[in-house]
């Protein structure tokens, strides 16, 4: 069977500066995968390039052996919270309803059944009571839950989340990771950009360790060793100290 996601020889640059160099890996269906690496390593760039939100200089991305464009509706994306305009005037429920649009098709307005579905998704993330609020009136953790609910509403096969745990409360983090594990157990494939190394072995099955190039890829214990981490985080040894890794 084809892997859920395969990335071959991906190169991305911004105005001639290389952000990703020759990145290749493939992920089986039903894995919860962490993308880790220091600031500026190209983690967000990787997700955006996979999603065709930015141009690639080179590389091929396939989902279940098909081109990304053919199956783009089957991928939900939760961008970095800092990149979302939280002043945009939209309610929590309408934000989640946006998740139903790809299936609904162009020019069709959501009906009662879509609204009920959006509410169920809000219930699952534990914030149905805030459905009528403006998104700007929520805490960081609640905002992140709204975007997860939107991704759930999309009923996608694959989820990409960019730093979902940054700036949120502990209980939101627990709710989100629990839902991600449930989704994985139901066969969804999930990529999460994450920078807090201390929790990676609780959270993920596999890691993609990036620093412009692919430094490591595989099961947690293959990637979380001193040699590989030192290569990725050279100059950032405080990270390794936290993990108790000697370099």
SS3 per-residue string spanning 165-179:
CCCCCHHHHHHHHHH
Q: Which of positions 27-86 make contact with Mg ion (CB under 5 A)?
A: 43-44
d(CA 41, CA 20): 8
* 44 versus 143: smaller Cβ distance to Mg ion: 44
* 14 versus 107: smaller Cβ distance to ligand ADP: 14
**Which positions from 4 to 33 touch ligand ADP by CB under 6 A, shown as an x/- string?**
----------x----x--------------
Buried b (16+ CB within 10 A) or exposed e, 99-129: bbbbeeeeeeebeeebbebbbebbebbbbbe
Q: Which does 238 bind (CB under 5 to 8 A by kind): ligand ADP, Mg ion, none?
A: none
Q: By CB under 6 A, is residue 44 in contact with ligand ADP? A: yes
DSSP string of 107-122, one letter each residue: TPPP-HHHHHHHHHHH
Q: Residue 212 Cβ, how far from ligand ADP at the closest point, in Å?
A: 8
* 44 versus 95: smaller Cβ distance to ligand ADP: 44
Q: How far is CA 17 from CA 20, 42, 61, 113, 234, in A?
A: 9, 12, 21, 47, 20
End-to-end CA distance of the chain: 40
Q: By CB under 6 A, is residue 42 in contact with ligand ADP? A: yes
Q: By CB under 6 A, is residue 167 in contact with ligand ADP? A: no
Q: Residue 44 Cβ, how far from Mg ion at the closest point, in Å?
A: 3
Question: Can you give the binding site for ligand ADP, defined by CB under 6 A?
Answer: 14, 19, 37, 39-45
Question: Can you give the binding site for Mg ion, defined by CB under 5 A?
Answer: 43-44
């Amino acid at each position: 069977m084809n892997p859920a996601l395969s990335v071959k020889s991906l190169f991305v640059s911004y105005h001639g500066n290389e952000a990703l160099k020759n990145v290749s890996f493939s992920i089986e269906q039903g894995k919860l995968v962490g993308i880790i690496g220091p600031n500026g390593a190209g983690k967000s760039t990787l997700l955006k390039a996979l999603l065709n939100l930015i141009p690639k200089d080179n590389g091929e991305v396939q989902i279940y052996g098909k081109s990304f464009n053919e199956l783009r509706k089957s991928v939900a994306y939760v961008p970095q919270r800092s990149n979302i305009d939280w002043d945009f005037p939209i309610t929590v429920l309408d934000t989640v309803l946006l998740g139903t649009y790809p299936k609904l098709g162009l020019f069709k307005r959501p009906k009662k059944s879509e609204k009920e579905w959006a509410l169920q998704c809000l219930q699952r993330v534990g914030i149905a009571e805030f459905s009528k609020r403006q998104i700007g009136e929520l805490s960081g953790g609640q905002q992140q839950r709204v975007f997860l609910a939107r991704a759930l509403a999309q009923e996608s096969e694959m989820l990409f989340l960019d730093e979902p745990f940054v700036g949120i409360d502990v209980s939101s983090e627990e709710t989100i990771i629990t839902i991600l594990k449930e989704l994985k157990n139901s066969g969804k494939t999930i990529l999460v950009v994450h920078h807090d190394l201390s929790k990676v072995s609780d959270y993920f099955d596999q890691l993609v360790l990036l620093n412009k190039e692919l430094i490591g890829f595989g099961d947690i214990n293959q990637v979380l060793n001193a040699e590989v981490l030192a290569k990725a985080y050279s100059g950032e040894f405080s990270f390794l100290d936290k993990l108790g890794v000697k370099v």
